[in-house]
A and B are shown apart, each in its own frame.
Chain A
Amino acid sequence: GQQVQQSPASLVLQEGENAELQCNFSSTATRLQWFYQRPGGSLVSLLSNPSGTKHTGRLTSTTVTKERRGSLHISSSQITDSGTYLCAMSGGSNYKLTFGKGTLLTVTP
């Protein structure tokens, strides 16, 4: 079945530093979606793009479909960015999302 690997598993940054989160998937994706989740909180959709680069605020998502990888760049990290970032993909005519295990981001003062 489809598999999604995220790295790093955890990341600690100082406020103001940039973060680069990676996502690799095992089959051709038609959509890659990034989510944010606080402990015990809801899944919040951040960005969704099948290929290329997409920006919103301080977030940039880049997906290279042929190489089966994607990344999420967070610029000028803030303490409130702390939480888990999840990558999910779907492929072909199958619209269910397969999730990675997430990257736990901690931003310190």
Chain B
Amino acid sequence: NAGVIQTPRHKVTGKGQEATLWCEPISGHSAVFWYRQTIVQGLEFLTYFRNQAPIDDSGMPKERFSAQMPNQSHSTLKIQSTQPQDSAVYLCASSLVAGGSTQYFGPGTRLLVL
């Protein structure tokens, strides 16, 4: 079991560019979550999917962030027109089912917007 896989591990973009982050959940897990971590805000929830369907995106900044899960083996988080305040570690987690199950986290993608 390779665990949750996230690519790239590091990404540097210029202000205004687009960034796409990838997540491959643990095989057989039906729920996929996205979080981000900064020194100031700590860990914050962004969005989650269950059986590929979007369930809760209440943590997503509305205008420039979007997430998709086109199949059960990967999810993407896209940030358009990146801003310096988007710099953070973006973490993907998966769990066997959405409720009552342990969430397992990937190593994260460290995004730096210059």
| Binding stretch for chain A, among B15-23, B70-78, B80-88, B104-112 | B104-112
- B56: which of A30, A33, A44, A96 is its contact (CB, 8 Å)? A96
- B103: which of A42, A50, A97 is its contact (CB, 8 Å)? A97
**Given A42-B105, A43-B91, A43-B105 in contact, is the A95-B99 Cβ separation under 8 Å?**
yes
**How far does the Cβ of B73 sit from chain A's closest Cβ, in whole Å?**
20
B103: chain A residues within 8 A (beta carbon): 33, 45, 97
Q: Categorize the interface residue count of chain B.
A: 20 to 34
User: A86 to B35, alpha carbons, bound, how many Å?
Assistant: 14
Which A positions have Cβ atoms within 8 angstroms of B? 30-31, 33, 35, 42-45, 48, 50, 86, 88, 90, 93-102
Which B positions have Cβ atoms within 8 angstroms of A? 31, 33, 35, 42-45, 48, 55-56, 58-59, 91, 93, 95, 98-100, 102-108
**How far does the Cβ of B55 sit from chain A's closest Cβ, in whole Å?**
8
**Given A31-B100, A86-B43 in contact, is the A96-B105 Cβ separation under 8 Å?**
no
* Chain B interface mostly: strand
B107: chain A residues within 8 A (beta carbon): 42
User: A96 to B50, alpha carbons, bound, how many Å?
Assistant: 12
Whether B104 pairs with A45 at a CB distance below 8 angstroms is yes
- A42: which of B58, B95, B102, B106 is its contact (CB, 8 Å)? B106
A33: chain B residues within 8 A (beta carbon): 102-103
Whether A97 pairs with B108 at a CB distance below 8 angstroms is no
**How far does the Cβ of B97 sit from chain A's closest Cβ, in whole Å?**
9
A97: chain B residues within 8 A (beta carbon): 33, 35, 43, 45, 103
